[in-house]
Amino acid sequence: MRPAVRLEHLVKRFGGEAGRRVARSGSRQTTEGEVVAVDGIDLEIADGEFFSMLGPSGSGKTTTLRLIAGFELPTEGRVWLHGEDVTRKPPFERDVNTVFQDYALFPHMSVGDNVGYGLTVRKVPKADRERRVGEALDMVRLSGYQGRKPSQLSGGQRQRVALARALVNRPRVLLLDEPLGALDLKLREEMQIELKAIQQEVGITFVYVTHDQEEALTMSDRLAVFSRGRIEQLGTPADLYERPATAFVAGFVGTSNLLRGDVAKALVGSEGIYTVRPEKIRLADRGAAVADDEVGADGTIRTVVYLGPDTRYIVALDAGSDLVVTQQNLNTSSMEVLAAQGQSVRLVWKRQHVLRVEE
């Protein structure tokens, strides 16, 4: 089957002065002062997939999304939607819709009119329009809210109206740019689950931009980690978490627990860069025996962060460098874990949980 979205060696450079003024740290500049926002992206997104683009600020995610939508023209490369080359087509001739972080609802219009706005403009007959608005509100679980004004809704509900307004056009691809960015944590977590459920129900391809790794891991079928306008790694959430290819991905998807240089030599036995996930490490008494398939590293607990269900310990290793360890608070109270600060310990992990990564 043809991919819903295909990007072929996509490049976007923003020119000279203008580019220099707005350049952020996460992107690359050429000697002419241009900003290379997108630096040669090849990507295929399958029909019906929930695909996320994850990366730090300035890494080129939004620009890539805008190139798919047609709000920007690429400097080089091509954009294909369902097998059609749309590189030179304007946004309204592309079968996509975009949902932004600031929902941009019309405050004076009712929820129903906001959702149906695009259909009214396109002169869809009233009965048809009302039916489709009703269906779209159903999808986002807001049936019965037609008559309300946006000001009478919570942040999460407003974002769902914005989603319904995009879904009502029945696009084959929905582009979402940090749509949950303005919501508080609890609501964001609820909406992540809702969004994924809605996407599965409607079967539309979602291309989702976020800088929040947890969000990307929770919702995506696959995701791409962006860095400096390029895709650093592409895969399923489990691929990226369990087999990060580079130190950057290991740090961005999860906590960066890197062993390098002399520390790597002492603990892993060879040169290179390695990572161990914090939940794979257990705390033992200093000098405790370790099994053949385990590594033991002595150190001192520098900081204890009590998080309720778990505790995060930052341990300064005798060999040099710090490692983060997370432990579930199965039988320990907050008093007990906090008293661990300054204690001398041994960190123990299985050799198989040491992953080699590239620079």
Q: Which residues bind ligand ATP (CB under 6 A)?
A: 14, 18-19, 22-24, 27, 35, 37, 55, 57-63, 211
Measured CA to CA in angstroms, residue 206 lies from 209, 298, 322 at distances of 10, 46, 38
In the DSSP assignment, the letter for residue 46 is -
| Shortest separation between residue 87's beta carbon and ligand ATP, angstroms | 18
Q: Which is nearer to ligand ATP, 57 or 333 (CB)?
A: 57
Query: 62 or 321: whose CB is closer to ligand ATP?
Result: 62
Instruction: Tell me the angle at which helices 185-202 and 155-167 cross, rounded to the nearest 10 degrees.
Output: 20
Phi-psi domain of 140 (left: phi exceeds 0; alpha: psi -120 through 50; beta: other): alpha
Smallest gap from Cβ 251 to ligand ATP, in A, equals: 16
* Beta carbon nearer to ligand ATP, 62 or 257: 62
CB-based burial label for 146 (10 Å; 0-12, 13-18, 19+): middle
Rounded CA gap, 187 and 190, in Å? 5
d(CA 7, CA 207): 13
Residue 22 or 197 having the CB closest to ligand ATP: 22
229 versus 278: smaller Cβ distance to ligand ATP: 229
To ligand ATP, the closest distance from the beta carbon of 229 in angstroms equals: 7
Task: Tell me how far, at minimum, the Cβ of 221 lies from ligand ATP, in Å.
Answer: 21
Q: Identify any residues that bridge with 14 across adjacent strands, giving them in sequence order.
A: 35
Which residue's CB is nearer to ligand ATP, number 162 or number 209? 209
Asked if residue 329 lies in contact with residue 309, where contact means CB atoms within 8 angstroms, the answer is: yes
Taking the complex as a whole, the smallest distance from the CB of residue 323 to ligand ATP amounts, in Å, to 29
Three-class SS of residue 265? helix
Helix or strand holding residue 192 (H, E): helix 185-202
Strands 173-177 and 96-99: parallel
CB of 204 to ligand ATP, least distance (A): 22
SS percent in the chain: helix, strand, coil, step 5 = 30, 30, 35
Q: How near is the Cβ of 59 to ligand ATP at its closest, in Å?
A: 4
Pick 15 or 83: Cβ nearer ligand ATP:
15
